Chain A
């Protein structure tokens, strides 16, 4: 069984990847990160082994591009300590996802992959290079920290 035509990946994952990038890179950088992600994926595609988990692979690239985007940005994102006594905004997404971005790296990644990309824990573990249990732990601890921020 060979790799599916790349267009089918695009059709299937463009929306979830875009949504993921809005959360991880921010709405104003999502377009650029999207392009970087899919161009990198297309370039690497023929070298993929058959039977690879395409979804996890694609989201790994997307996450890396989102983090690259943060690193290359010159403006200072740090706005000081976590917001005190804010309530999670359920209409927009800035407040809560901004708080997610301030989590320590493994928890940040785990929460992004779980709630922005909807990946099952098995795939999150793959992407993080850790165990299923560690992935769950990271999500749990991330959520706990977020609760502290918002209560």
Chain B
């Protein structure tokens, strides 16, 4: 009996790791083709470090400076759909547009956006933020006004701090009244790089 068990166990250990990886990639390409993938994501290199990008059928839903992949994927699985799959192809356009932006060749991203991760007042603030033109800035107070509540400057600041779509929704173009740079969730150094790139500051 032991002989048979050994034979079964050993025979099962054919080295096929690589074939499994390829099979998985081919399968997910087909899955995307069939519309079975609700959220596609990929990691994109940039001058500001590694960016996590995710999109739905509606458009870019998440762009974030990322350290740890697990919490950001878990959040998407929870708040959008558990059908979250890695896909280089689906995020290819986003990657290209970002590359062109950082090379100074592009001022408008022209990407469809999915704002489902921000609702209500936060959503209105961020949609208004998406309309701030390249190289221009507005104040937190202005944003509050655009979102329909002049008195909600701090809330506007919080909305911008929670922006799920960094860079493309340009919360970096929002400064304090009086010109003080204000804050930036990714770290002020990144905000400065972006404002320098857009020639807002030296």
A contacts, CB < 8 Å to B: 2-8, 10, 14-15, 17-19, 22-23, 30-31, 34-35, 38-39, 42-43, 45-46, 88-90, 92-93, 96-97, 100, 111, 115-116, 143-144, 146-147, 150
Contacts of A43 in B (CB 8 A): 36
Contacts of B12 in A (CB 8 A): 19, 23, 93, 115-116
What CA separation (Å) do A6 and B73 show in the bound complex? 10
Contacts of B76 in A (CB 8 A): 5
Does B111 lie at the interface of the complex (its beta carbon under 8 Å from any beta carbon of A)? no
Q: Are A3 and B82 in contact (CB under 8 A)?
A: yes
- A146 partner, pick from B4, B30, B82, beta carbons under 8 A: B4
Given contacts A5-B74, A19-B16, A147-B4, contact A89 B11 (CB under 8 A): yes
Report, nearest first, the 5 A-B pairs whose CB atoms are least far apart: A88-B7, A5-B84, A18-B20, A93-B11, A3-B82
Contacts of A19 in B (CB 8 A): 12, 14, 16, 20
Smallest CB separation, A105 vs chain B (Å) = 18
Does B201 lie at the interface of the complex (its beta carbon under 8 Å from any beta carbon of A)? no
Q: Are A115 and B8 in contact (CB under 8 A)?
A: yes
Q: Are B19 and A90 in contact (CB under 8 A)?
A: no
Given contacts A35-B27, A88-B4, A93-B14, contact A7 B84 (CB under 8 A): yes
Contacts A/B (CB < 8 Å), 5 sampled:
A10-B85, A15-B16, A19-B14, A30-B19, A88-B11
- A38 partner, pick from B5, B6, B11, B31, beta carbons under 8 A: B31
Contacts of A4 in B (CB 8 A): 74, 77, 82
Given contacts A88-B3, A150-B4, contact A45 B77 (CB under 8 A): no
What CA separation (Å) do A114 and B86 show in the bound complex? 31
Q: Which of B1-43 contact A (CB under 8 A)?
A: 1, 3-12, 14, 16-17, 19-21, 23-24, 26-28, 30-31, 34, 36-37, 39, 41
Contacts of B106 in A (CB 8 A): none
- B16 partner, pick from A3, A22, A89, A96, beta carbons under 8 A: A22
Smallest CB separation, A58 vs chain B (Å) = 13
Interface core residue of B17, B21, B83 (most chain A CB under 10 Å): B83
**Chain B: which residue is nearest A111 at the CB level?**
B8
**Chain B: which residue is nearest A88 at the CB level?**
B7
Smallest CB separation, A115 vs chain B (Å) = 4
Given contacts A31-B23, A39-B36, A115-B8, contact A6 B14 (CB under 8 A): no
Contacts of B3 in A (CB 8 A): 88, 147, 150
Smallest CB separation, B73 vs chain A (Å) = 4
Q: Are A14 and B83 in contact (CB under 8 A)?
A: no
Q: Are A18 and B83 in contact (CB under 8 A)?
A: no
Contacts of B189 in A (CB 8 A): none
Contacts of A150 in B (CB 8 A): 3-4, 7
What CA separation (Å) do A85 and B7 show in the bound complex? 15
Does B78 lie at the interface of the complex (its beta carbon under 8 Å from any beta carbon of A)? yes
Q: Are A10 and B8 in contact (CB under 8 A)?
A: no
Interface core residue of A3, A43, A144 (most chain B CB under 10 Å): A3
What CA separation (Å) do A5 and B6 show in the bound complex? 36
Q: Are A39 and B34 in contact (CB under 8 A)?
A: yes
Smallest CB separation, A122 vs chain B (Å) = 19
Contacts of A7 in B (CB 8 A): 41, 73, 84-86
Contacts of A97 in B (CB 8 A): 11
